[in-house]
Amino acid sequence: MIIPIDKLISYEGNIYQLTSAVIKRAIQINLVGDEELEKNKGKIVSIALKQILTEKVKYHIEA
């Protein structure tokens, strides 16, 4: 499975910020592409969530 369920279950941060970061990353992947996109059959949101949870992509929400 592409989404690391254990990391999603144990996530202790703000779920709203996580969702916002995943949406923004999914838009970036859609516009620019990613090496994982073809391998995972175009599942953009799943790729974005995996990258955020595994900290391959870091995010910062400005207040």
Residue 48: per-residue pLDDT:
94
Residue 1: per-residue pLDDT:
59
- Residue 6 half-sphere exposure toward CB, CA atoms < 13 A: 1
Give every CB contact of residue 54 below 8 A, 6+ residues apart in sequence.
Answer: 4, 7
**CB-CB contact of 53 with 4 (8 Å):** yes
pLDDT for 61 beyond 80: no
Domain ranges of the chain: 5-53
5-54 tens-digit pLDDT = 999 999 999 999 999 999 999 999 999 988 888 888 889 999 999 999 99
Taking the model in full, what pTM does it have? 0.85
d(C-alpha 55, C-alpha 59), whole Å:
9
